[in-house]
Amino acid sequence: MFKKTLVAVSLAAASLASATAMAAENVDLLIKNATVLTMDEDKNVYEKGLVAVKENKIVAVTDGSDLKEFEAKKVIDADGDIVMPGLINTHTHVSMTVFRSLADDVPDRLHRYIFPLESKLVTRDMVRIGAQLGNVEMLKGGVTTYADMYYFEDEVAKTVDEIGMRAILGETVIKFPVADAANAEEGIKYAVNFIEEYKDHPRITPAFAPHAPYTNTTETLQKITELSKKYDVPVLIHLAESDREDQVIAERSGGMSPVEYMADIGALTPNLVGAHVINVSDSDIELLKKHDVGIAHNMSANIKSAKGVSPALKMFDDGLRIGLGTDGPMSGNTISTLDEFNQVAKVHKLVNKDRAAMPPMKVVEMATIGAARALHMEDTIGSLEVGKLADIIVIDTKAPNMVPVYNPYSALVYSAYAANVKHTIVDGQILMKDRTMTTVDEDKIRNEALAFADKVRKTVIESGEVVQ
For residue 30, the cross-strand partners are: 52, 75
- Site membership for its own copies, residue 426 (CB under 8 A): no
Cβ(421)–Cβ(396) under 8 Å?
A: yes
Cβ(298)–Cβ(325) under 8 Å?
A: yes
Instruction: List the one residue from 230, 444, 446, 458 that touches its own copies (CB under 8 A).
Output: 446
Instruction: List the one residue from 354, 379, 434, 441 that touches its own copies (CB under 8 A).
Output: 354
Sign of torsion, CA 397 398 399 402?
positive
- Site membership for its own copies, residue 456 (CB under 8 A): yes
- Site membership for its own copies, residue 6 (CB under 8 A): yes
| Near its own copies in 13-72, by CB under 8 A | none
Q: How wide is the angle at C-alpha 58 spanned by C-alphas 57 and 59, nearest 5°? A: 110
Number of residues this chain uses to bind its own copies (CB under 8 A): 77
| Near its own copies in 281-340, by CB under 8 A | 300, 303-306, 308-309, 332-336, 339
- Site membership for its own copies, residue 442 (CB under 8 A): yes
Instruction: List the one residue from 403, 434, 444, 458 that touches its own copies (CB under 8 A).
Output: 403
- Site membership for its own copies, residue 82 (CB under 8 A): no
| Near its own copies in 121-140, by CB under 8 A | 133-134, 136-137, 140
For residue 85, the cross-strand partners are: 392
Whole-number minimum distance, CB 369 to its own copies, in Å?
21
CA 244/CA 97 separation, integer angstroms: 26
Instruction: List the one residue from 42, 71, 79, 104 that touches its own copies (CB under 8 A).
Output: 104
DSSP symbols for 317-363: HTT-EEEE----TTTSS---THHHHHHHHHHHHHHHT-TTSS-HHHH
Q: Is the bond preceding residue 302 a cis peptide, omega within 30 degrees?
A: no
Stretch that binds its own copies, among 105-113, 176-184, 256-264, 274-282 (CB under 8 A): 105-113
Q: 395 burial class (0-12, 13-18, 19+ CB within 10 angstroms)?
A: buried
Stretch that binds its own copies, among 52-60, 182-190, 227-235, 454-462 (CB under 8 A): 454-462
DSSP state of 273: E
Closer to its own copies by Cβ: residue 164 or 332? 332
Whole-number minimum distance, CB 36 to its own copies, in Å?
17
Neighbours of 100 (CB within 10 A): 21
| Near its own copies in 360-389, by CB under 8 A | 360
Closer to its own copies by Cβ: residue 48 or 304? 304
| Near its own copies in 175-214, by CB under 8 A | none
